[in-house]
Amino acid sequence: MFEKISAAPADPILGLTEEYKADPREDKINLGVGVYKNEHGETPVLPSVKKAEALLLDRENTKSYLSIPGTAEYGLAVQQLLFGEQADVINDKRAHTAHSPGGTGALRLAGEFIKRHLGEVTVWISNPTWANHKGVFTAAGLPLAEYSYYDAAKNDKDFEAMVADLEKANAGDVVLLHGCCHNPTGIDPTEQEWQALAELCQRKGLLPMFDFAYQGFATGVEEDAAGLRIFTKVCPELLIASSFSKNFGLYNERVGAFTLVGRNQEEATKAFSQVKTIARVIYSNPPAHGAAVVTTILNDATLKAQWLQELADMRDRIKTMRTEFVKTLKAQGVSRDFSFIEQQNGMFSFSGLNKDQVNALKADHGVYIVGSGRLNVAGMTHTNMVPLCTAIAKVLD
């Protein structure tokens, strides 16, 4: 029966990791997949997570199922992180949160919810965006449209083109926005631009959906939520997919959340009951451990302070690498201006390297970056910086 099935293509990002692993060269460098690495090129468990896990090992007294949306404590902790501790949307009970298997699980819940309950609408995604956005929403049966986001000539955002494209959206359409640290460009809207986007969505009756996978990687946990918090003041309805893979380093625990904000408590509760029905037929109920870690940390002032410091350390290390990268490229004789890399947020930057240069980096130098030219800055270290920049100088020649 299976003889007619042809092989599926590898995921463009995860497939690159497999290629990297299989590469026998000792000095190979992986700037592909978006995983944080420390100065030694490792992705260790955060010490705050280890402490929370020790507490959980001691306290946990059952492995019985969670409820479909997970625990209320987790839901509240997620909402406080998103909206701020005393936010009106929380106090007015307009927000409901379902613990999902990763940010991807949250996006898939959002996709199914839109498809089943919001009619014939289009999901607008940025050009470029995280490749899996297309996969997830297409799998949910939703039509997609792209809005402009990036101006390759300027290595910057093209806000005017973005707004012009979103003006073409129809009432009811969904606009997917990256909460911060846009993947893959590392370029985010300013507060004024967030405000303008929120007003555009409100005026045209568009439903904003935030994908929030890097909260805390740009400036700080609170600061990075500025765009979302502007939207909650302007737009009565919102969807949010959170991921705690990166900011808690809980990648393989698959911990995320889908949050729905309604116009009032009654509408939010009814709509959310449908989200539970959707989760039921996909994975029934969520995996407990990662969310228990997140809840334990966020509900303990000492552990939370420790986690915020560890997150700041990750953020600061990436920033240091951005500065060092730009400096070292210059020192290696690269005349092209790469200073824009220092202005970008989070793990990723669009380098502007073309496909041939990306291929040459891999083939000739063992440097792995995503085909679009996206660099995972978090993969840079003091040790690999000079070889990396020397290789880039060579492919730019």
- Contact residues: ligand PLP, CB under 6 A: 34, 102-104, 130, 178, 183, 211, 213, 243, 245, 256
CA-only gyration radius of the chain, Å:
21
318 touches which of ligand PLP, ligand TYF, none (CB within 5 to 8 A by kind)? none
Only segment of 6-14, 54-62, 93-101, 308-316 that touches ligand TYF (CB under 6 A): 6-14
Selection from ligand PLP, ligand TYF, none that 197 binds (CB < 5 to 8 A by kind) is: none
Neighbours of 9 (CB within 10 A): 7
Helix (H) / strand (E) element for 156: namely strand 156-157
Whole-number Å distance between alpha carbons of 272 and 269: 5
Q: Which long-range contacts (CB under 8 A, 24 or more apart) does 12-15 make?
A: 12/131, 12/370, 12/371, 13/131, 13/370
- By C-beta, is 14 or 305 nearer to ligand TYF? 14
Taking the least distance from each CB to ligand PLP, the nearer of 97 and 104 is 104
Tokens 């970008």, located at residue: 344
Which residue, 186 or 262, is less far from ligand PLP as judged by CB? Answer: 186
Q: Which is nearer to ligand TYF, 128 or 262 (CB)?
A: 128
User: Shortest Cβ distance from residue 148 to ligand PLP (Å)?
Assistant: 18
Residue from the set 20, 74, 113, 130 that interacts with ligand TYF by CB under 6 A: 130
Give yes or no for residue 126 binding ligand TYF (CB under 6 A).
no
Minimum separation from the CB atom of position 397 to ligand PLP (A): 32
* The one segment of 9-17, 231-239, 278-286, 331-339 that binds ligand TYF by CB under 6 A: 9-17
Among residues 33 and 255, whose Cβ is nearest to ligand TYF? 33
Query: Looking at beta carbons only, is 183 or 345 nearer to ligand TYF?
Result: 183
Least Å from the CB of residue 253 to ligand TYF: 14
Residues in CB range of 385: below 8 A, 6 or more apart: 321, 324, 325, 328
The reply to whether 345 sits near ligand TYF by the rule CB under 6 A is no
Q: How far apart are CA 148 and CA 163, in angstroms?
A: 8
Q: What is the dihedral of CA 82, 11, 151, 365, to 10 degrees?
A: 120
| Contact status: 14 vs ligand TYF (CB under 6 A) | yes
Task: Report the alpha-carbon distance of residue 149 to residue 23 in Å, rounded.
Answer: 34
Q: Are 179 and 215 in contact (CB under 8 A)?
A: yes
Stretch that binds ligand TYF, among 10-18, 22-30, 171-179, 296-304 (CB under 6 A): 10-18
Residue 211 binds what, of ligand PLP, ligand TYF, none (CB under 5 to 8 Å, by partner type)? ligand PLP
How is 95-152 classified by DSSP, letter by letter?
EEEEEESHHHHHHHHHHHHHHHHS-S--EEEEES--HHHHHHHHHTT--EEEEE-EET
Closest contact distance (angstroms) between CB of 180 and ligand TYF is 14
Short-list 81, 49, 72, 84, CA closest to 303: 49
Q: How big is the CA angle at 114 (ends 293 and 267), to the nearest 5 degrees?
A: 80
Binding-site size, ligand TYF (CB under 6 A): 8
Instruction: Tell me the C-alpha distance between 39 and 318, whole Å.
Output: 10
**Single-letter amino acid code for the residue at 161:** A
Query: What one-character DSSP code corresponds to residue 346?
Result: S
| Active site residues per annotation | 130, 211, 246
Sign for the CA dihedral angle at 257, 259, 265, 269 comes to negative
The nearest distance, CB 138 to ligand TYF, in angstroms, is 14
Taking CB atoms, the residue at the shortest distance from ligand TYF is 34
Tokens of 271: 């709509």
Q: Which one of the spans 8-16, 217-225, 228-236, 293-301 is the region binding ligand TYF (CB under 6 A)? A: 8-16
Q: Is 19 in the site for ligand TYF (CB under 6 A)?
A: no
132 vs 215 by CB, closer to ligand TYF: 132
Q: Which of 100, 183, 185, 295 binds ligand TYF (CB under 6 A)?
A: 183
Residues making contact with ligand TYF (CB under 6 A): 11, 13-14, 33-34, 130, 132, 183
